[in-house]
């Protein structure tokens, strides 16, 4: 089955700096790549996603890039703010069935 590796497991950045989280996957058939943000004690919530026919997608301070040849995709957060502190999960799927999640990155924004 699909295997998703996520790095780093923890990340601390100064407020205002950028944060980058990277995921690699094993199944070349994967075609959907979402990112979820989970605040402490809450449910994971979708923040951005990308499909395999697109190389990059942006939504304000958040962007995701996809390299299908190398089988990796990354989350970029610019101008980080304290409310960006959370655990971030990447995921992959083929079609709209079950997602395989990465192990998560705990992002801490230092004021």
Partner 1 sequence: SQTIHQWPATLVQPVGSPLSLECTVEGTSNPNLYWYRQAAGRGLQLLFYSIGIDQISSEVPQNLSASRPQDRQFILSSKKLLLSDSGFYLCAWSPRTEYGYTFGSGTRLTVV
Q: Which residues here bind partner 1, judged by CB under 8 A? A: 32, 34, 41-46, 49, 51, 89, 91, 96-104
The token duo for 54 is 């697109």
Phi, psi of 83 (to 5 degrees): -75, -5
Question: What is the smallest separation between the CB atom of 40 and partner 1, expressed in angstroms?
Answer: 10
Identity of the residue, 7 or 78, whose beta carbon is nearer to partner 1 in the bound complex = 7
Identity of the residue, 75 or 91, whose beta carbon is nearer to partner 1 in the bound complex = 91
Distance CA 47, CA 82 (A): 16
Identity of the residue, 34 or 74, whose beta carbon is nearer to partner 1 in the bound complex = 34
Question: What is the smallest separation between the CB atom of 25 and partner 1, expressed in angstroms?
Answer: 15
Pairing mode, strands 72-77 and 62-67: antiparallel
Identity of the residue, 63 or 99, whose beta carbon is nearer to partner 1 in the bound complex = 99
Question: What is the smallest separation between the CB atom of 27 and partner 1, expressed in angstroms?
Answer: 15
Local structure of 79: helix, strand or coil: coil
Q: For residue 36, give Cα distances in angstroms to 27, 88, 91.
A: 20, 6, 8
């Amino acid at each position: 089955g699909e295997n998703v590796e996520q790095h780093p497991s923890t990340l601390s950045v100064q407020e205002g700096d950028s944060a980058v989280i990277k995921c690699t996957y094993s199944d070349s058939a994967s075609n959907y790549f979402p990112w979820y943000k989970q605040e402490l004690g809450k449910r994971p919530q979708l923040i951005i996603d990308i499909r395999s026919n697109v190389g990059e997608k942006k939504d304000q301070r958040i962007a995701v890039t996809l390299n299908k040849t190398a089988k990796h995709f990354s989350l970029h957060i610019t101008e980080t703010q304290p409310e960006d502190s959370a655990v971030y999960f990447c995921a992959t799927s083929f079609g709209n069935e079950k997602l395989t999640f990465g192990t998560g990155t705990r992002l801490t924004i230092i004021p």
